[in-house]
Structure formats: structure tokens, C-alpha cells
Amino acid sequence: GQFSEIFFMLALPFFTKRFGIKKVLLLGLVTAAIRYGFFIYGSADEYFTYALLFLGILLHGVSYDFYYVTAYIYVDKKAPVHMRTAAQGLITLCCQGFGSLLGYRLGGVMMEKMFAYPEPVNGLTFNWSGMWTFGAVMIAIIAVLFMIFFRESDNEITAIKVDDRDIALTQGEVK
């Protein structure tokens, strides 16, 4: 998963320049849903299943980089200069602080209430397919809502700051 993340991190400026920020963010969401879709079949004991699991792991790079990393870039470009640090701190707190805490708590309750088997079924104590299906459906719904409600001109986000240089993302001028 981390190997593909390195590749897609390097490809991120190209994709953002070519397709725009909204499409890159949407691609990150869609690939996360597809990734979870591959994991649905993870409990079967066949070679095809292992191939799907491997593909799901490889999709980690594109789903993480194209959604989370691009979201951080977006926040950095939209926040006023004097508020960038606070904006980055807020998105980190929401995604990796409160968001993770809430996700872990709700996930644990859901596993117990919705996906735990009272008795082992084929050696499994949890309905992993159901859990991954729930995640895939939730991400797909979020992707549709994002596609409908996110309004952003692709030309507004023009560069990523690297060291003291801006790397162009659109046809705009590089500073």
C-alpha cells in the first residue's frame, strides 16, 4: 500500500493539473469505495480473492493521496496566509483526531451490534463482507454528494508549494 502511495504522491501534480482539484478528490473517494469493494470478497479462499485483496491494497495509494493529501493542499490554498497553520491544524484535528476517535468508537459498536455472529460461521466471528459493504456504500454516497455539492473552479488552485517554489498545477503562471 505504501509503495503505491509513493507512486501516486509523485503523480499527484500531474493529475491535478490535468483533471483539476474536484476530479482528483472525487477519484480518491471512488477508488476508496472500489478498494472496499475488493475487500468484500476477502473471506473466500481462492486465488482470485487474493488478487482482489492485493489490488485493494494497491489502491490505498491513489485513494489516500488523491483524497487526503489533495484535501490538505486545497485547504492550504483556500485559507488566508495568516490562517493557514490553524486551517491545517483544524483539518488534521477533524480527520485524524475527532474523526478517528468517533470512527473507532462507532466502528466498535457497529462490529458488535451489526456484524458480529452469535456463533462462529465457517470459522469467522465477524461478517467482514458486511462491514466492507457498509464502508463501500457510505463512501459511494459521500462521493455522489461531493460530486453534486462541491463547487470549485479548477483554475483557483494553481500551484503546490515545494520548498520556496510553486509547482504549477494548471496552465497558470508559475511563481
Contacts of 66 (CB under 8 A, 6+ apart): 8, 12, 15, 24, 25, 27, 28, 31
Closest CA to 129 of 48, 63, 37, 61: 37
pLDDT tens across 29-55, in order?
A: 999 999 999 988 765 667 778 888 889
- For residue 38, give Cα distances in angstroms to 113, 121, 166: 24, 21, 37
pTM for this prediction: 0.76
pLDDT tens across 64-99, in order?
A: 999 989 999 999 888 899 998 999 899 888 888 888
Q: What is the mean pLDDT of residues 25-31?
A: 95
| Residue whose C-alpha cell reads 515545494 in the numeric block | 162
Q: Are 159 and 174 in contact (CB under 8 A)?
A: yes
